[in-house]
């Protein structure tokens, strides 16, 4: 991420100050050591955080704000992190909670639940028809990024954390604050929506034949794609 220094600069040097001002010099040394440890452990995941934030926030400015707020909150809570555990999952958890808090303040609308009965069938067909993986190599091009961003927020978060960031069900469940069964359900539905949105794209790019799409996607997929 090119603006790493800019994002880090948004985290104030006194972010971990306690309300009690006694023993300020000792605590100042502790804060400096804590911040150095935080920067050493956390900043290697900055690109992944920004990628996740961008999929959630839908704009670069909002994504940068999300990452900045996440860094600040993570630094404030650094003592809660146990060294040696999955810091990336811990940071994703904080980022998602920051995002949800913002979203609730801006928009309290409920997410509509789609009616789906299938999973990853289209992408499995792509894998068979495209052994060189061209479809997956282009997985973050503009068309697919737009498709991911168009998913309902709760599905989008699950899909990004699982399929782009490689988190396990338990880690995703912890990040989103839901049971593992809910994670699996959201992945199932999110992937189904995503494959519907990308069906025409896969045909247009030559990754799939139209007959394959008709075979693995419900008959009304044409009306869904591009919706």
pLDDT tens sequence across 168-216: 899 899 888 899 999 999 999 988 888 777 777 666 666 566 665 566 5
Tell me the C-alpha to C-alpha distance, in Å, between residue 151 and each of 21, 29, 99.
47, 46, 15
Reply yes or no on whether the pLDDT at 126 is more than 50: no
pLDDT at 223: 34
Domains of the chain by residue range: 4-106, 121-224
The pLDDT score that the predictor gives to residue 224 is 34
Please indicate whether residue 26 or residue 164 has the higher confidence score (pLDDT). 164
161, 52 contact by CB (below 8 A): yes
4-106 topology per CATH: Rna Polymerase Sigma Factor; Chain: A (1.10.1740)
Structure tokens at 129: 């028809």
Kindly report the average pLDDT of the chain as a whole number: 70
**177 burial level (CB within 10 Å; 0-12, 13-18, 19+):** exposed
**121-224 and 4-106 share a CATH fold:** no
- CA trace torsion 218, 220, 225, 226 (10° rounding): -170
**CATH class of residue range 121-224:** mainly alpha
Token pair for residue 90?
Answer: 């811990």
């Amino acid at each position: 991420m090119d603006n790493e220094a800019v994002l880090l600069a948004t985290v104030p040097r006194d972010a971990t100050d306690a309300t009690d001002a006694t023993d300020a010099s000792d605590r100042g040394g502790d804060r400096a050591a804590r911040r150095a440890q935080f920067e050493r452990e956390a900043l290697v995941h900055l690109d992944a955080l920004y990628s996740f934030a961008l999929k959630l926030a839908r704009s670069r400015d909002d994504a940068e704000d999300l990452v900045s707020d996440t860094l600040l909150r993570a630094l404030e809570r650094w003592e809660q992190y146990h060294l040696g555990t999955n810091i990336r999952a811990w940071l994703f958890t904080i980022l998602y909670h920051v995002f949800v808090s913002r979203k609730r303040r801006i928009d309290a609308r409920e997410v509509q639940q789609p009616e789906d009965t299938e999973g990853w069938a289209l992408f499995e067909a792509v894998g068979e028809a495209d052994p060189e993986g061209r479809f997956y190599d282009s997985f973050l091009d503009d068309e697919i990024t737009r498709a991911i961003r168009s998913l309902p927020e709760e599905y989008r978060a699950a899909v990004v954390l699982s399929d782009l960031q490689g988190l396990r069900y338990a880690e995703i469940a912890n990040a989103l604050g839901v049971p593992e069964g809910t994670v699996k359900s959201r992945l199932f539905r999110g992937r189904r929506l995503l494959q519907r949105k990308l069906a025409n794209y896969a045909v247009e790019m030559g990754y799939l034949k139209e007959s394959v799409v008709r075979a693995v996607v419900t008959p009304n997929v044409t009306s869904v794609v591009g919706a």
